[in-house]
Amino acid sequence: MFTLLSELVSGVGSSNALNTKKIDRNIEKLLESDWFNKIYTNERYRNLFFPNKRIRYHLQSSRRAQNIIRSEKAQKKLLFLLEKELK
């Protein structure tokens, strides 16, 4: 009982918590694409993939990651988000 309560208070049970394993898996899938690999290895953007909650939240969705792989429109949206977060 105490463990459950402490997890809820600390935010572990919260729906706002980011799932790091899921984000890392999605990044691994995206890295199979040459265009994402170029973005990810670019120092300018690379630093956004770790501490930035908006970017990590965007990459947390497996459906969104698949969309990014398949759709040029979704790729442009990710680039726009990265540029926005750089400012």
pLDDT of residue 17: 87
Whether residue 64 has pLDDT greater than 70? yes
Mean pLDDT in residue range 18-46: 94
pLDDT of residue 52: 93
For the four alpha carbons of 24, 17, 73 and 85, in that order, the dihedral sign comes to: negative
pLDDT of residue 87: 87
pLDDT of residue 15: 57
Q: Where are the alpha helices (DSSP H) in 1-87?
A: 2-10, 20-30, 34-41, 43-46, 53-60, 62-70, 72-86
8 Å CB contact between 81 and 53: no
Whether residue 1 has pLDDT greater than 80? no
Q: 10 or 56: which carries more pLDDT confidence?
A: 56
